[in-house]
C-alpha cells in the first residue's frame, strides 16, 4: 500500500439519537429487579421483541374508576409520543 500510496479512509460514525433536555426524572423504584412475586405488583411500559426492537406504551388512567382512557404503542419514547396520548384522551373526553 505504501508503494502505490494507498490508505484507508475512516469516517466518523453518526449518532443515532438526539439528546433532549430531561424535564423530569422519576425515582428508580424497581432497582433493577425485573421479576415479581405476585400479580399486578410491577408493571412496565417498555417491551423488547425480535432481535433488538423495543416497543413503548404510553397510557392515561382515570383514577376515579381505574379505567384506561387512552393508550398508544410506539417505537420511540419522546415528548410527541406522550402528547399524542394526551391528545387522544382529550378527544375521547370531548368526542
Residue 68 domain boundaries = 46-94
Cell 500510496, located at residue = 5
Cell 425515582, located at residue = 27
Q: Quick one: pLDDT band at residue 72, thresholds 50, 70, 90?
A: very high
**Cα-based distances in Å from 5 to 9, 12, 78, 93:** 13, 22, 48, 70
Is 74 within a domain? yes
Is 69 within a domain? yes
Is 50 within a domain? yes
Is 7 within a domain? no
Q: Quick one: cell of 35? A: 421479576
Q: Quick one: cell of 57? A: 406504551
* Chain segment 42-68, per-residue pLDDT in tens: 766 677 788 888 888 888 888 788 788
Number of domains in the chain: 1
Is 80 within a domain? yes
Of 15, 75, 74, residue with least CA distance to 88? 74
Is 60 within a domain? yes
Is 26 within a domain? no
Is 6 within a domain? no
**Rounded CA gap, 59 and 77, in Å?**
12
Kindly report whether the global pTM for this prediction surpasses the value 0.85. no
Amino acid at each position: 500500500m505504501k508503494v502505490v500510496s494507498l490508505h484507508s479512509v475512516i469516517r466518523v460514525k453518526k449518532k443515532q439519537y438526539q439528546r433532549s433536555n430531561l424535564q423530569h426524572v422519576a425515582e428508580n423504584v424497581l432497582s433493577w429487579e425485573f421479576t415479581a412475586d405476585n400479580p399486578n405488583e410491577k408493571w412496565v411500559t417498555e417491551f423488547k421483541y425480535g432481535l433488538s426492537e423495543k416497543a413503548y406504551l404510553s397510557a392515561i388512567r382515570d383514577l376515579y374508576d381505574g379505567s384506561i382512557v387512552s393508550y398508544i404503542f410506539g417505537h420511540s419514547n419522546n415528548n410527541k409520543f406522550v402528547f399524542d396520548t394526551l391528545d387522544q384522551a382529550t378527544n375521547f373526553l370531548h368526542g
